[in-house]
C-alpha cells in the first residue's frame, strides 16, 4: 500500500510541477512536459513491481508506437486555437484527432498482421 501511495504522490507532483512551471515559462513547462518522465516512471514502477525487464521493454515498445498517433493532438489543438476556436472546442478537436489517429494506427496494425502472418 505504501508503494502505491508513493507512486501516486510522485506522479501527481510531476503533473503539478509541469503546470506550475508552465505558468512562469511556457518553454520550460513544454520542455519538462515533453520529457518522457511519465513513461520512465511507469517503466520503473513496472520493473520494481515485477522484476521483469522484458515486460518493461514490451511496454516501452508499445509506448513508442502509441506516441506517434498522440502527436496529432499537438498539431490540431494549437491550430484550432490559432483559428480562433475556444479552448474547449480546440481541446475536443485535438482529442478527436488523436482518437482517429489511434484508430488508423490500430487499423494499419491489423492489416499488416493479417497480410504478414496469415
- pLDDT, tens digit (0-9, with 9 covering 90-100), for 66-94: 889 999 999 999 999 999 999 999 999 99
pLDDT at 51: 96
Q: Cα(21)–Cα(26) distance, rounded to whole angstroms?
A: 7
For the chain, what is the largest distance between any 2 Cα atoms, rounded to a whole number of angstroms?
54
Enter the pTM of the model.
Answer: 0.70
Residue 53: band (very low, low, confident or very high) from pLDDT cuts 50, 70, 90: very high
Torsion of CA 45, 50, 52, 53, to 10 degrees: 10
pLDDT of residue 54: 95
Residue 56 has pLDDT above 90, yes or no: yes
**What is the structure's pLDDT at 118?**
63
Determine the Cα–Cα distance for residues 100 and 93; give it in Å rounded to an integer. 10
The residue among 46, 38, 34, 45 whose CA lies nearest residue 13 is: 38
Amino acid at each position: 500500500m505504501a508503494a502505491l501511495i508513493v507512486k501516486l504522490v510522485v506522479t501527481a507532483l510531476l503533473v503539478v510541477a509541469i503546470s506550475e512551471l508552465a505558468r512562469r515559462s511556457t518553454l520550460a513547462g513544454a520542455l519538462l512536459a515533453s520529457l518522457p518522465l511519465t513513461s520512465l516512471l511507469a517503466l520503473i514502477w513496472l520493473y520494481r513491481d515485477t522484476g521483469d525487464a522484458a515486460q518493461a521493454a514490451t511496454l516501452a515498445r508499445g509506448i513508442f508506437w502509441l506516441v506517434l498517433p498522440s502527436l496529432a493532438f499537438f498539431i490540431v489543438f494549437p491550430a484550432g486555437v490559432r483559428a480562433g476556436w475556444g479552448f474547449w472546442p480546440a481541446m475536443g478537436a485535438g482529442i478527436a484527432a488523436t482518437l482517429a489517429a489511434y484508430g488508423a494506427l490500430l487499423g494499419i496494425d491489423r492489416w499488416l498482421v493479417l497480410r504478414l502472418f496469415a
